[in-house]
Amino acid sequence: MSAVQQKPKFDEGRLMSVLIAPIVSEKATMVAEQSNAVTFRVMQDATKPEIKAAVELMFKVAVKGVSVLNTKGKSKRFGKSMGKRASVRKAYVRLMPGEELNLTGEAA
């Protein structure tokens, strides 16, 4: 094997569906200001390399690292019956210094 590391190949169609939605909350905004990170809701079976490749492909930015967090769905009561909220997988995507990702839709 060669010493040069090959980038793994991902299916572009899958990469387009890995990111579900950006998370816009107080905590996500605070993290974005402190560590130049953007928070996304991602598919349950998405891996860190897939998330990194998806963000780089869709937004044309350099990614420094990806942290992933799984949140279990809570049991909630809906009238007489019990229900369950969906489980969520969040990805905190840290961008390289100088990179910026504008998700608000406002022109800079």
| pLDDT tens, position by position, 7-66 | 667 788 888 889 999 998 999 999 888 999 999 999 999 999 999 999 998 899 999 999
Q: How confident is the model over 62-79, as a mean pLDDT?
A: 93
Please give the pLDDT value at position 103: 67
Please give the pLDDT value at position 81: 93
| Rounded-to-10 torsion of CA 20, 25, 29, 30 | -130
- Asked whether the predicted pLDDT for residue 100 surpasses 70, the reply is yes
pLDDT band of residue 69 (cuts 50, 70, 90) is: very high
Q: Walk me through the domains of the chain, giving residue ranges and CATH numbers.
A: 12-95 (3.30.70.330)
